[in-house]
Amino acid sequence: MAAMSPSKRRLQKELTSLIREPPPGVHVDEDLTSQNLTQWIVHMEGAKGTLYEGEQFQLQFRFSSKYPFDSPEVTFIGGNIPIHPHIYSNGHICLSILTEDWSPALSVQSICLSIVSMLSSCKEKKRPPDNSFYVKTCSKNPKKTKWWYHDLQDKNISLKLLLIAAIKAAEIGGSEVIAVHNQAKFEIQSKGKTKEGINDPVTEADYRSHCAMVHSLLETFPSITVISEETSKNCDKITVSNIKNNINNLNDYDIKDEIININDITVWIDPLDATKEFTENLLQYVTTMVCIAVKGKPVIGVIYKPFETKQNSSLFWSWTNHAVSRNLQILHKLEDEKIPILIVSQSHAGQIYNVSKIAFGKDVKIVPAAGAGYKFLEVLSGNVTAYVHMTAIKKWDICAGTAILTALGGTVTQLFDQQLISFKPHDSKELTWGLLATMSNHVWYLDKFSNI
């Protein structure tokens, strides 16, 4: 019996997953598909509360031998073609992930979710304005059409693909940081003083990492909102590879996709956390970070430690309610949390120690450290019980850590007004009311500090 090709193995895996756990309103025709694995019929029902509620549709998928590196040919067929501004009466669909935004990380499920989302967000049933001309002149294969995607309001993107992009961006940024560190010398400038009176340096590594990370994200998602600690400087000198086809990071994870409108997404990046320590060669504190917020809520976080040499201890990531990196699944928990162990910024460890003695008593332990990413990981690993910051802090410092810690059941709030933190694009980029991050007993810690 001939061995199954890589393309058909991938299709068989996707088919099994789609049959076992289909998205709402979607099911595959098992009888037809089992006869020919390269041509599927998928049934779709209009979602409740939408213009298409209760309507039944059929999608036809055709796969080439190059799948998943080549996108499938997808069309509506049958007697009921949805009347939609991006769906032609011959069943062709104007959807970017079917052509230029396709990636091997996407799947049949991703396409179905994107089409369901497109139908559900429709405000008026109508055909595209050029429907009559297109139907008369187009090729039978919609992939031969040169589509023009102009309506960003209807642009949906895959969060699975965005997670892959975030991981790769953090790694690319880390590579730039290492490259600068390995130079004989590099320039150090100053942004001024922090509120604690500490010099706030910026280096070539900050700028190069920023350029690489932002470019890699915008190369794949040109219209996405990216907020970075740094600004672009000599970015034309930085070259990065396109990350669309980089799927190796998640090959061993069975992750269901989610399709989100691009206008609801904000990407926060910190190209080099702990710059001061980087210049002092205290490299254990250095991280690069990427955070994906949906409607202001951090749902994907990536923290990368470029100088970490211990195996499986450099890259940490999470996607809330979907998956976390395996090194986060095996973190140990403190056996005894009766004695608070607080990790704090080195610049104001003395101030927090004095306050904490009043709040918790003389047995409280203070661990001075640098870098917000490092501190979040210490909380996650169980080496400390809480991360406390009493002064202002930037949101790009804490977004990724917040996403990872909350995905694992922890809590992150402001310290003094005890509110959850929003990461919308037009929110203030600075947190002024301090920070508290814990894996447990969060309210107890808040109460202790509120009594001071």
Give the pLDDT score at 262. Answer: 87
Does 178 or 144 have the greater pLDDT score?
Answer: 178
Judge whether residue 337 has pLDDT over 50. yes
Domain boundaries, the chain: 6-144, 156-317, 341-451
Is 270 labeled as ligand-binding?
yes
Give the pLDDT score at 152. Answer: 46
Q: How confident is the model at residue 167 (pLDDT cuts 50, 70, 90)?
A: very high
Provide the percentage of residues in the chain whose pLDDT is more than 90.
Answer: 54
What is the pTM for the complete model shown? 0.76
Average pLDDT, the chain: 87
Q: How confident is the model at residue 442 (pLDDT cuts 50, 70, 90)?
A: very high
Fold of 341-451: D-Maltodextrin-Binding Protein; domain 2 (3.40.190)
CATH class, domain 156-317, is: alpha beta
91: left (phi over 0), alpha (psi -120 to 50) or beta: left
Q: What is the mean pLDDT of residues 127-134?
A: 88
Superfamily name with CATH number, domain 6-144:
Ubiquitin Conjugating Enzyme (3.10.110.10)
Is 272 labeled as ligand-binding?
yes
Q: What pLDDT digit, counting tens, does each position of 409-418 carry?
A: 999 999 987 7
Give the pLDDT score at 249. Answer: 60
Judge whether residue 422 has pLDDT over 80. yes
Does 33 or 125 have the greater pLDDT score?
Answer: 125
Judge whether residue 245 has pLDDT over 60. no
At residue 213, what are phi and psi to the nearest 5 degrees?
Answer: -70, -45
Give the pLDDT score at 272. Answer: 96
Q: What is the 3-state secondary structure (H, E, C) of the chain?
A: CCCCCHHHHHHHHHHHHHHHCCCCCEEECHHHHHHCCCEEEEEEECCCCCCCCCCEEEEEEECCCCCCCCCCEEEEECCCCCCECCECCCCEECCHHHCCCCCCCCCHHHHHHHHHHHHHCCCCCCCCCCHHHHHHHCCCCHHHCCCCCCCHHHCEEEHHHHHHHHHHHHHHHHHHHHHHHCCCCCCEEEEEECCCCCEEEEEHHHHHHHHHHHHHHHHHCCCCEEEECCCCCCHHHCCCCCCCCCCHHHCCCCCCCCEEEHHHEEEEEEEEECHHHHHCCCHHHCEEEEEEEECCEEEEEEEECCCCCCCCCCEEEEECCCEECHHHHCCCCCCCCCCCEEEEEHHHHHHHHHHHHHHHCCCCEEEEECCHHHHHHHHHHCCCCEEEECCCEEHHHHHHHHHHHHHCCCEEECCCCCCCCCCCCCCCCEECCCEEEECCCHHHHHHHHHCC
Give the pLDDT score at 2. Answer: 61
Provide the percentage of residues in the chain whose pLDDT is more than 70.
Answer: 89
